[in-house]
Amino acid sequence: MTDDVSKKISVGPSGKFDGSGLSVKKRTTKNILLATALENFYGAAEEMGLDEGLVEILSHAERAISVSLPITMDDGSIRVFEGYRVQHSTALGPAKGGLRFHPDVSLEECEALASLMTWKCSLAGIPYGGGKGGISCDPLELSSNEKERLTRTFAARIAPIVGEWEDVPAPDVNTGAPEMVWFMDTVSKLRGRFEPGIVTGKPISIWGSKGRTAATGLGVATCIKELLNAVKLDVNKSRIIIQGFGNVGSYAAKFMSEAGAKIVGISDVTGGYYAPDGIDVAKAFDHISNHPKKMLEGFSQAGLKHVSGEEILEAEADVLAPCALEGAVNASNAAKLKVKYIVEGANGPVTPEADEALLSNGIKVVPDFLANSGGVIGSYFEWVQNLAGYFWTEEEYNNRLVPIMKDNFHRVWNYAATQDVVMRRAAFLVAIKRVADAVKMRGLFL
């Protein structure tokens, strides 16, 4: 990289660069996830010698809004919820990113995740920028009718800034196909025309795509398999822990189990489930499919031990794939981990402090915006099909997804080895350069 955007690349260890060498005034925040995102960005920007004007631009979101969402509850009372949508960058294309329903959703969290989506889409080589949004609520306390009213109100409030070529939301934590249909239907009715491409993650019967539901988990599993191949560890002899057994974790476990790996640990909000001789993943998958709240609660098999969510992270295995919420691996537990590799299925599951401890202990990390990019690549496939009005088979879908994931993994793996940096830093350097080049070519609109 010798162009104007990336003036230099150091081959020193990743820990050498923390952004302290930049002369720009760095942003500060008390939000852990946003602080993590900024710290990673500033460190990578310093290492690649990024023009400081571009550092200023890319350290801020293009647009961030908050909306109040008054809805009538089932008991007739009125409650007002808070909703957010952030578009970090549209330099490469429409903003792309999920909508999550969770009590901890905030504007700063959405900004952090939107920036992660910018780098994820850039690294994946797809024509999207980064966006993220959500509603601060506890979905377990809401009925289906209340969630529908909440989703439709949110869709109406942010309708002016979303569209097939502006911002394309998708499912995220505690959202799925029903919420996407309600969102699409609301905006379509407001505009007086059917706009299926305004969201992805829809059911197949309503312009969804075969393969989309499993795409993120398939991408995580693909990265795990490529990692095992790269370090010459036979997948049939590997032991894997999957933290989180929602959409991402359950499918990652399913694909790895089918590939011959031994899944020794799984978990969700009900705790961890550990079996040294291997978990019957098909049985666990069926259990959550039939559970009223889609949880592992009550799951059992011979030799299975029920442990805490923290204990499952610290159990013995070759690979840990944290596929739940951010910050799962942090300064308090990083030194206790007994795995050799971490493949991040969730967004931001490893904090910067934990990264340092993991590096010291020789634990390699495949970063989130590489490992879990199967979801956004799959969303891109659905969007393409919606715009064309032509749909693929699941086999066609997967046959397009897996090679992209493999290529992206090896591009980052090889770059990390060549430049003597950890994979997270390598992925940032590759992704930031593409976005920075686009910003520089497009210029500032005055």
Does residue 132 have an active-site annotation? yes
Looking at residue 11, its pLDDT comes to: 32
Question: So what's the pLDDT on residue 16?
Answer: 57
Written as six digits, the tokens of 280 are 């019957």
Among candidate residues 251, 349, 261, 257, the one with its CA nearest the CA of residue 309: 349
DSSP letter string, 352-364: HHHHHHHHHTT-E
pLDDT along the chain (446 residues), means of 10: 32 57 90 89 92 96 98 98 98 97 97 94 96 97 98 98 97 92 98 97 96 94 98 98 95 98 97 97 96 93 96 97 93 97 94 92 95 95 97 96 97 94 93 96 80
Nearest to 229 by CA among 28, 444, 405, 7: 405
User: Which pTM value belongs to this model?
Assistant: 0.86
Domains and CATH numbers, the chain: 14-58+425-441 (no CATH), 63-196 (3.40.50.10860), 215-361 (3.40.50.720)
Cα separation of 37 and 334, whole Å?
19
Catalytic residue, candidates 96, 120, 132, 364: 132
Judge whether 169 and 151 are in contact, CB under 8 Å.
no
Q: How many Å separate Cα 88 from the centre of its chain? A: 15
pLDDT of residue 14: 41
